[in-house]
Each structure stands twice: as C-alpha cells, then as structure tokens.
C-alpha cells in the first residue's frame, strides 16, 4: 500500500540559537496551581555541536528520499528545516494524514439535532451483550454543534464535527440515516458476512457513536480544543480545527488488527478498523467497543503528551505506555459498578474469552503477575503496554475502593468518586509528563496530577499501588522496588 507522507511541519516558532531553526521534539511542560509553578519538565538536550543551518540538498531531493524510504507519496504539506536531536526510528506514523482546513467558527447558534442510533452502548464490550436503540446520546456540554454539524453545514450521515466514519478507503462512503430525523436503525446480522450492506451500515453507525461518545466523555475531563483535541470546528478558543477523526471501517488494507495515526493538531487523526478472520463469517472489529476505544485513546495520549505535536510517544517504552493507556481507557469505559473486576480485551473478534492479551487485567497477582521488572522480558510495545495497563487497573481499583463508584462519571466529572478521580488523574498527567516519557516519569506525572487537583490527598494510596507492582519509590532501570516515601 502506498502511504501518504507528511514531512516535518513547523508547529509555530520555537527559536533556537541556530538561526531560529526549530528543534524537533524539544518540548517543555509547566504546571501552575494558585498562580505558582508546581512542576516543570522538558525533553531538552545540550548537543556538543550543531550541523550547519544551511541545507546542502534540495527540498525535492529530501522529498524523493523520504518517498523512496517510506514507499509513499508526499502529501504537499509544506516542508520545514528542523534539528532532530533524538532520532526516533520506531513508531513513526505513516498513515494517510488529511490536510488541515482553517474551519474558523463563525456562529454561536446551538445546532443540536435530535438523533437516534441502534448501537452497542459504550459500556458494553461487544455485540454479544446486545444492541440498544439510543436516543440523543450526544452531550451538548462537549459537542455544542451536535454530532451532525461540522460548523459549516448539517449532515444526515455518519459525519460531523468530531468524526467522519466511512467504508474502506472511500471518504464519501458514509452511512446515511435509515429514516428522516437522524434515525440510524440498522440491525446487524451476525450470521451474514460483515460486508453485507446492513452489517457495514451497522458497523459505521457503531463506530460513529463510540467515537463521538468517547469525544464527549474525555472533553469533560480536559481533552478540549486548547488541549489539541479532534474537531473540524473548534467552538471554544485554543488549538486548531480542521482535524476531526477519519474512521475507516472494514479497511481492506489489513486484517486481525486496528490502528490510529496521530498527526499534529490541525490535521485529522486516522483510524483504521479491520476484519478478523478467526471465525466464519469474519468478525468486525468495529463491533468490539474496547478495540474502538483503545484506538481512539492513542489520539488522546499522542496529542496531550508534548503539546499537540503527535511526536512524543515514539521510543519503544513510550509507545508501550501508549498501548497501556489505551487498554486502561477501554477498561474504564466498560466498568459500570464497584468493585473493579478483572478485564479482558478483544474476546469477541477472536472468539476466545481470554481475549488478545496474555493475562486479564487484575488486582490479583496470581491472575496477573506483571511488575515493573517484567519489562525486561517485554519484547514489543503491546507487551510493555500490558504491564502499564495492569498498573493503571490497580490504581483505578484502589481509588474506587477508597472513594466509591459514580454511575454518572461519563457525563458528570464533578464528583469525588474513585472512577472520576482516576480519569482526572489519567488525563491531567498526560500534559505534565515530558516528551518520550518512561514508566517512572509517567508514574510521577500521575502523582503530581493528584497534588495539583486534589492537594495530594491520594499520594500515599498511589505510591502503595505502584509499589505493589514494583514501581516503588526507589525503582530504577527495570528493577522492582516495593518501597514508598517516608510518611506513607
């Protein structure tokens, strides 16, 4: 498959001593509380020498080299000259990025429309738990334009301000309302091939609903325009518009997988959902909500870590953290009561209750034995992600045990219950950690987030949970430590 290539694109002037040429991945993050700096991090470095600031090859030659190396075609986004201090050779996003549009908001009229969808509610894992007909699931606090208006025009299909869900490679192949009034009532038939019209319509409708619901939930917890979220029109100030998520359903370029490409703020995120062939007929990943949520969460973590560049989770440990956050978000979305029970992911698509991970996520070490030292045996990013996701599962469970569970956490972030506290810390911490974080920095960012938001009231709880899985106060270099700071 030919890929569309985005060469380095300037994210605004970041002057350096070298003739005002930007340093790629040189990002600082500062947190304030009560008008004072409470934490500071950066991914700066001090090179001993600099290459010449005058290029010795032409732009055309650089484009040609990139096209040859990546088997792709330049997408005409303007190139820039940048210093690359740390060369990341893994995890580069090659997906087909979409050119940013200005999308300036020109109206404050509330254009919310009634709508109804035959879908799998976001708290259900897959279609074995049953479809429901949901009326008006959009949250005006997060999506004031509604789900079927992009700030310029109203739609009657699976497109809007947050998401464009379409079939395979055709951006125009959306699912149109089944009846007037934005009614999307398509009944999926699991005995038929996913490619049957009613099944592909049901799949696109479900992805459109899940991604919009996900948008509305995380918006309440801080993934807003100013935090570089995905919207065609940014209703509130901050960030760049023109970047709703493009969701390809039943993408024919892959099998038994899914992925998400996160370019910088202002360019659309690209989700690709594939079919799975462990069964006959094949099963559609678009109808397994935990996989859809997992992929969408890559957009959150890639955008919020490093200030909207999409570049700051690319070394292997940082990529692994990204996989872990994505599993943990699916885990959070699908829990409906206390206590926090064991969680598996991907059971439906492979027709196996054990799912697609090596162990369930669990507070029981006999069910999931992973500790920080398990990273020494982790061979790839999903293996690393399982270690982090299980730690977050344990944090979530401990917070719920301590503070209770809110059944309205997806629509009301103001409570003090444990699942609300967990998602606030999850999202707050992303902006506090440095570019290319490791486990220690990701842990510290969560503890700092608790200091910032809750005056450190959960500090010892958090340390004890992390320490119980080897990520204690003196943990270092993938060696387990089970200690906590003095006072805990």
Q: Distance between CA atoms of 174 and 379, rounded to whole angstroms?
A: 39
Catalytic residue numbers, as ranges: 295
* Cis peptide preceding 378, ω within 30 of 0: no
* Torsion, CA 365, CA 380, CA 477, CA 389, rounded to 10: -40
Whether 298 has a binding-site annotation, put simply, is: yes
Q: Distance between CA atoms of 21 and 11, rounded to whole angstroms?
A: 12
Q: How many CB atoms are located within 10 Å of the residue 86 CB?
A: 14
Whether 323 has a binding-site annotation, put simply, is: yes
Q: Distance between CA atoms of 25 and 10, rounded to whole angstroms?
A: 11
Q: Distance between CA atoms of 109 and 483, rounded to whole angstroms?
A: 55
Max CA separation in the chain (angstroms): 66
Q: Distance between CA atoms of 227 and 236, rounded to whole angstroms?
A: 11
Whether 148 has a binding-site annotation, put simply, is: no
Can you name the residues that pair with 23 across neighbouring β-strands? 83
Residue 315 and residue 88 in contact, taking contact as beta carbons nearer than 8 Å: yes
Show the 3-state SS of the chain. Answer: CCEEECCCCCCCCCCCCCCCCEEECCCEEEEEECCEEEEEEECCCCCCCCCCCCCCCCHHHHHHHHHHHHCEEECCCCCCCEEECCCCCCCCCCCCCECCCCCCCCCCCCCCCCCEEEECCCCCCEHHHCCEEEECCCCCCCCCCCCCECCCCECCECECCCEEEEECCCCCCCCECCECCCEECCCCCCCCCCCCHHHHHHHHHHHHHHHHHHHHHHHHCCCCHHHCCCCCCCCCCCCCCCCCEEEEECCCCCCCCEEEECCCCCCECEEEECEECCCCCCEEHHHEHHHHHHHHHHHHHHHHCCCCCCCCCCCHHHHHHHHHHHHHHHHHHHCCCCCCCCECCCHHHHCCCCCCCCCCECCCCCCCCCCHHHHHHCCCHHHHHHHHHHHHHHHHHHHHHHHCCCCCCCCCCCCCCHHHHHHHHHHHHHHHCCCCCCHHHHHHHHHHHHHHHHCCCCHHHHHHHHHHCCECCCCECCECECCCCCCC
Mark the binding-site residues for Zn(2+), compressed into ranges. 294, 298, 323
């Amino acid at each position: 498959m030919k890929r569309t290539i985005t060469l380095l694109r300037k994210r605004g002037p970041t002057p350096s001593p070298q003739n005002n040429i930007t340093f790629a991945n040189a990002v600082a993050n500062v947190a304030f509380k009560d008008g004072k700096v409470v934490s500071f991090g950066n991914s700066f470095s001090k090179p001993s020498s600099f290459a010449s600031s005058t290029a010795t090859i032409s732009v055309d030659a650089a484009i040609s080299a990139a096209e040859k190396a990546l088997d792709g075609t330049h997408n005409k986004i303007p190139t820039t000259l940048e210093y690359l201090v740390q060369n990341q050779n893994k995890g580069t996003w090659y997906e087909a990025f979409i050119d940013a549009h200005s999308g300036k908001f020109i109206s404050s009229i509330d254009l919310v429309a009634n709508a109804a969808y035959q879908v799998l509610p976001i708290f259900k894992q897959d279609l074995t738990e049953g479809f429901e007909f949901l009326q008006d699931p959009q949250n005006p606090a997060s999506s004031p334009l509604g789900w079927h208006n992009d700030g310029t025009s109203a739609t009657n299909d699976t497109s809007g301000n947050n998401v464009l869900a379409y079939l395979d490679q055709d951006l125009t192949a959306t699912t149109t309302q089944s009846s007037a009034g934005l009614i999307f009532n398509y009944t999926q038939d699991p005995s038929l091939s996913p490619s049957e019209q009613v099944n592909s319509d049901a799949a696109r409708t479900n992805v459109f609903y899940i991604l919009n619901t996900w948008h509305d939930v995380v918006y309440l917890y801080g993934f807003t325009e100013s935090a570089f979220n995905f919207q065609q029109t940014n209703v509130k100030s901050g960030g760049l518009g023109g970047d709703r998520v493009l969701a390809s359903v039943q993408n024919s370029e892959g099998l038994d997988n899914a992925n998400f490409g996160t370019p910088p703020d202002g360019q659309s995120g690209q989700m690709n959902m594939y079919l799975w062939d462990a069964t006959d007929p094949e099963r559609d990943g678009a109808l397994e909500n935990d996989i859809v949520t997992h992929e969408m969460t890559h957009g959150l973590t890639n955008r919020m870590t490093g200030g909207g560049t999409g570049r700051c989770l690319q070394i292997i440990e940082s990529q692994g953290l990204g996989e872990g956050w994505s599993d943990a978000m699916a885990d959070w979305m699908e829990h409906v009561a206390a206590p926090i029970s064991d969680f598996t992911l991907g059971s439906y698509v492979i027709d196996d209750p054990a799912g697609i991970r090596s162990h369930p996520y669990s507070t029981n070490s006999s069910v999931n034995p992973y500790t920080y030292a398990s990273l020494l045996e982790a061979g790839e990013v999903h293996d690393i992600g399982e270690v982090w996701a299980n730690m977050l599962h344990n944090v979530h469970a401990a917070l719920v045990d301590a503070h209770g569970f809110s059944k309205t956490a997806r629509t009301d972030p103001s409570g003090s219950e444990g699942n609300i506290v967990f998602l606030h810390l999850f999202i707050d911490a992303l902006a506090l950690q440095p570019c290319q974080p490791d486990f220690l920095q990701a842990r510290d960012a969560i503890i700092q987030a608790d200091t910032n938001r809750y005056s450190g009231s959960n500090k010892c709880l958090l340390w004890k949970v992390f320490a119980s899985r080897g990520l204690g106060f003196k943990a270092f270099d993938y060696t387990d430590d089970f200690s906590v700071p003095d006072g805990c």
